[in-house]
Amino acid sequence: MTERSLRLTFDNAPIGIAILRPDGGLLEVNAALCDLLGVTKAHLMAARLQGVMHPDERDRDGDLLAGWLPGTDERRLIDRRLSHVSGYWLSCQLSVVLVRDNDGTPLHLIVQVVDLTARHALEQELRMAAVEDPLTGLGNRRALSEHLRDSQRRQARDGDGVGLLYVDLDDFKAVNDTYGHDVGDRVLIEAGRRLRGQMRGSDTVCRIGGDEFVVLCTPVQGAQALRALETRLASMPPVMTLVDDKPVTVSASVGSVMVGPDEDLDDALRRADAAMYRSKRTSREGRERDSPRHEATRAGSRPETPKEEFWKNAPGHGSEGTR
């Protein structure tokens, strides 16, 4: 291959290539590397390759040669963030080849630069999808499981208490069935936002399905401290959204359990779910004792059925709209 052919190959290569002196100075760069970084050849030659690296990852001049001894592997893969002229960082993989003369003296480095930014973004998106509820942005069941294992390891090491709060939205199905999934989704998103706002920074709020949320509380100094957190959530104002400029509100029932250092997530969730239903039943019985329906029953008149009562109070339905 002639020198002219080599030059054309270098200049027209589809990936960025730089040739560096042993001291880190640039000998040559091709058009693909300049296009990748959005700069001219003159600008890049003046800046040096080290100058466009992220400060946290920047090698001192000559450090790309560190550890390269005669007879060792002459190729390396190095991950670096490189600066684009527009101000953002590109996640790049640098394939570095050391070229020596006949007596083993380093002559120069050939660096091929591959932009992995889109690939890394997709990988991050996939990682988040594996542990994040797409509707609320909260952690999902898998995230809860991972956080619980981490908390249990700290519990075994440091003695930090671990608790679960199981949160269920009351009558959510009726709202979803009556107003549709768009309204139901708004309620779930607002519920997630409210829960995050109520909890401590060390707690983890997750949505594990439907209208069920779980808060991993750590550290917790015993069952009494966990009950105080439960009371905080149970006292939270009802979640509200507007339908036809009228409010639709949904309250929540909360149950709590302390979790042992070796307890399985499924077992802990079953106990927390049972505690939540006991709380829901107690609250419902209290509301029924204080409700007009209960008073009407005591007075001997026929009370409205739950269905009649719901439709009577539903936005968009007047007194004639009972179904």
Active site residues: 211
Percent of residues in the chain assigned helix, strand, coil, to nearest 5: 45, 25, 30
Q: What is the DSSP string of 247-303?
A: EEEE-EEEEEEE--TT--HHHHHHHHHHHHHHHHHHHHHHHHHHSHHHHHHHHTSPP
Residues 6+ apart with CB under 8 A from 8: none
Q: Report how far apart, in Å, the C-alpha atoms of 82 and of each of 22, 54, 57, 208 are.
A: 20, 6, 9, 39
- Among 1, 42, 49, residue whose Cα is nearest residue 21: 49
Length reported for the chain: 323
- Please name which of 218, 226, 224, 228 lies closest in space to residue 161, comparing C-alpha atoms: 218
Note whether 70 and 54 are within 8 A (CB).
Answer: no
3-state secondary structure 219-242: EECCHHHHHHHHHHHHCCCCEEEE
C-alpha closest to that of 214 among 258, 260, 168: 168
For residue 54, what are the contacts with CB-CB under 8 A and spacing of at least 6? 80, 81, 82, 83, 89
Give the C-alpha separation, 157 to 151, whole Å: 10
As a dihedral over the C-alpha atoms of residue 61, residue 64, residue 68, residue 74, rounded to 10 degrees, the angle is: -140
Nearest to 272 by CA among 221, 213, 323: 213
